[in-house]
With several copies, the nearest count.
Chain A
């Protein structure tokens, strides 16, 4: 096999970019959270990188992207053996999915998809901040990855029923990633319950520059997520890239304008959140729509998500950092947008030969067919992910592994679950404060009337 250096370099670069998104997400979520839970928040993301990477080479990839020998079973799950335990035997391994023509080694695709699996699980964590046992999170991540992410990835991209039979479109993960994670978040928090003090207290972001930087890193990495999903470098790749940029920009504007009108002031948290909403919404569509429709999709996503994050107050679920309001809602907007804007002018594989079997969108003369498919695909993933996530949470709850104690929640989950606290500046070892100079170390765990780690009590 001849490796195409341009294509392979692009896919590896894209993989690195998508990996970076998870620390970026950790920072985004961490900054949005209160400071006493920022480390737990980031640790949920980091643990996903550790866990899912290893599971992916062992069994994730083969189940998601291997081809099941039974054509019927292949609708729901990939191969149990093809790539099991990585399954490839060396550098002579060829690219299998798209034929040798792309010149991309299988391992490059495996690692690219690994990064998707990591971040999808990590996305869920934003809903559960400040109150979920870390051990419970690890179990949940493991179970949901295995029972939900892997099969859904197969349904959508691995030759399963959504992509292969239904012909719903999902360029880079509107259904497989964002709706999937958003629905799981909802299922999980319905079982987990609200944070102490919610919604009475404000739970404002503790570090807004982190939020903005996190959004910036996500945006940067998302080019790999979206434009990398074409795998090769061609005209569609370039569309995916420019669409990612303009839709995100438009969504940033959309969110900020809603704030400006509704609250009187545009905020940086709003701009950052709007950008993420736009990135989410354009994800499934980026390789199938033209730039001006991308702007429209972005504007709608930004404005609608800015309103949707208020839903939790009306409906009473505590989605801490708005995973539902942004990823679930944004994912649906993007997925449905394909029913209107998908066009073979951008992606020849629509209606093409060998094609995706999908139709042009409503505004491109394809009628309502594609809209219907998008709805069915997205709805199926919504229901499946939400239900299984809730069931997993239920089992963990029954085993008393789901929620930290009230005391731990008040003390702060960082100290309670990780025995560390995020900052040690002003009342500590910094050069400016008097306590710092006096060498007063801040109390990591607050013994005050609450149970604490290894507290020594005298007299």
Chain B
């Protein structure tokens, strides 16, 4: 099994969720992160003084998926998360040795 992790722009989460839903992905887990990258943040003015904000809010999406579906999942995420502007984020894939559904104790593909 694989774990697909995506760091995306917050406003794209809805689109990503829909795209995964369309693929038949049953679940996912998201969290709040802050990203630092080519997209360089921005300056803010407070009482006439300027400040730089370096970290930008991003959403991390994690999806456990079948080996066979992994390319489809990655493609779906990449396509739906894309705005074409810098800072759209990264998607990466890691290998998972085992998955368990806590409720039932089922393992492997049955656990998804």
Contact = CB atoms under 8 A, between A and B. Distances in A.
Contacts of A204: 44, 46
Interface residues of A, number: 43
B85 A456 contact: no
Contacts of A313: 48-49
A456 B86 CA distance: 11
A449 B32 contact: no
A425 to B, nearest CB: 13
Given A309-B47, A309-B48, A444-B44, A449 B57 contact: no
Most chain A beta carbons < 10 A, residue from B41, B43, B44, B87 = B44
Given A202-B49, A441-B53, A450 B59 contact: no
Given A427-B32, A433-B32, A448-B11, A457 B39 contact: yes
A442 B57 contact: yes
A263 B49 CA distance: 10
A434 B47 contact: no
A309 B49 CA distance: 10
Contacts of A367: none
Interface string A416-459: 00011000000100001111111111111111111011111111
Contacts of B53: 441, 443-444
B97 interface: no
A199 B10 contact: no
A457 B90 CA distance: 18
Contacts of B33: 434
Contact of A434 (B40, B41, B48, B59): B59
Contact of B86 (A310, A427, A457): A457
B38 A458 contact: yes
A251 to B, nearest CB: 16
B42 interface: yes
B83 A449 contact: yes
Interface in B25-82: 30, 32-34, 38-49, 51-53, 55-59
B102 to A, nearest CB: 11
A427 B43 CA distance: 18
Interface string A202-228: 111000000000000000000000000
29 contacts: A202-B44, A203-B46, A204-B44, A204-B46, A263-B45, A263-B48, A309-B48, A310-B47, A310-B49, A322-B47, A419-B45, A433-B57, A434-B59, A436-B10, A439-B13, A443-B56, A446-B10, A446-B11, A446-B57, A447-B39, A448-B10, A448-B58, A449-B11, A452-B42, A453-B44, A454-B42, A458-B38, A459-B38, A459-B40
Closest 10 CB pairs of A and B: A437-B10, A434-B57, A438-B13, A448-B9, A202-B51, A449-B83, A438-B10, A434-B32, A455-B42, A458-B40
Interface of B: 9-14, 30, 32-34, 38-49, 51-53, 55-59, 83, 85-88
Given A438-B11, A457-B39, 9 more contacts: A419-B44, A419-B45, A443-B41, A448-B9, A449-B85, A449-B88, A456-B40, A458-B39, A459-B38
